Chain A
Amino acid sequence: MAVIAQRQWDLLLIVTAAPHSNDVITTALRLGQAALDQEKTVRVWACGYANMLTQNAHGTSKPVNTRDTQGTYPSSAEIVRRMLAENPGRLSWIACTACSAERGATDHISEIRYRSPARFLSTIQASRRTVFIGGC
């Protein structure tokens, strides 16, 4: 009988905290990048309003900064896209299907993987370390 081995990831960041309420997403991204810099593999599970981060509607850049009208700042979707492009096979970003649907936020950038919350536990089991970043 063939046995299918589930891939193990080094780090799973479960982000349930709402973005823009504070700098939690910055912290999560910094932690993920630091792990990638140390040759770890990283998965992010976006839960709740964290699913708003990777919507196509954001485009590639943020709205104009009125204190720096000539500046260009990447959108959250673009930041995630770049991180995924820079770390092929070592970084994965998962959108929770239920949370996305509940918020009408189902138009993620194409690099995002959709996953049912029914697979939440198996996703945790497939990681060496899990950091649950809460604060809805």
Chain B
Amino acid sequence: MPVKRYLLIESQGTWAGPNAARFIEDACVLAEAGNEVSLFLVQDGVFAVADGASELLKRLAESGGNVLVDDFSTAQRALPARSLPSHVKQVGMDTVVQELFADGCQVVWH
């Protein structure tokens, strides 16, 4: 099966319901299937780096996925860069645009 490229954007906090964690798990499954996956956490989605969902983020990183977190959203929520796990990369929206326009990228917003 040909490798595909995905950009998954999670904007909801993990307390908003089970779908946020499921969305991150979708990213893990896609990466484990050999696809190129970037997960971008934005708005309340950035809290995933600070609670139990981190295990899923680690799983995604270990599967070769990129775990990206929005610099503006983390700053607004008092999550300093030094508090982020090593498998999480803090980026600006310019990086998201580059990911979005990478060849063959499919994007899903949640």
Known contacts A27-B11, A34-B93; A129 and B109 CB within 8 A of each other: no
Q: Are B107 and A129 in contact (CB under 8 A)?
A: yes
Contacts of B94 in A (CB 8 A): 34, 37-38
- Interface bits A110-136 vs B (CB < 8 Å: 1, else 0): 000000000000000000111111110
- B101: A residues at CB distance < 8 A: 10, 38, 40, 128-129
Q: What are 22 A-B contacts with C-beta separation under 8 Å?
A: A10-B101, A22-B43, A23-B43, A23-B73, A24-B43, A27-B42, A27-B70, A31-B93, A31-B96, A31-B97, A33-B93, A34-B96, A34-B97, A35-B100, A37-B97, A38-B97, A38-B98, A40-B101, A128-B101, A129-B100, A130-B107, A134-B109
Cα distance A131–B93 when bound, in Å? 14
User: Interface size class for chain B?
Assistant: 20 to 34
The CA of A130 and the CA of B105, in the complex, are separated in Å by 11
Nearest residue in A to B95 (C-beta to C-beta)? A34
Which 9 residue pairs of A and B lie closest in terms of their CB atoms, listed nearest first?
Answer: A34-B93, A34-B97, A30-B93, A35-B97, A34-B94, A133-B109, A38-B97, A23-B43, A131-B107
B 51-110 contacts with A by CB, 8 A: 70, 72-73, 76, 92-94, 96-98, 100-101, 105, 107, 109
A-B contact count (CB 8 A): 51
Number of interface residues of A (CB under 8 A): 22
What are the residues of chain B within 8 A of A131 when measuring CB–CB? 9, 100, 107, 109
A131 to B9, CA, bound (A): 10
CB of A27 within 8 A of CB of B97, answer no
B36 in the interface (beta carbon within 8 A)? no
| In the assembled complex, A50 has its CB within 8 A of some CB on chain B | no
B5-22 vs A, CB cutoff 8 Å, 1 = contact: the mask equals: 000010110000000000
Q: List residues of chain B with CB within 8 A of the CB of A95.
A: none
B44 within 8 A of A: yes
Q: Which residues of B contact A135 (CB under 8 A)?
A: 11-12
Instruction: Encode contact with B along A88-125: 1 for CB under 8 Å, 0 otherwise.
Output: 00000000000000000000000000000000000000
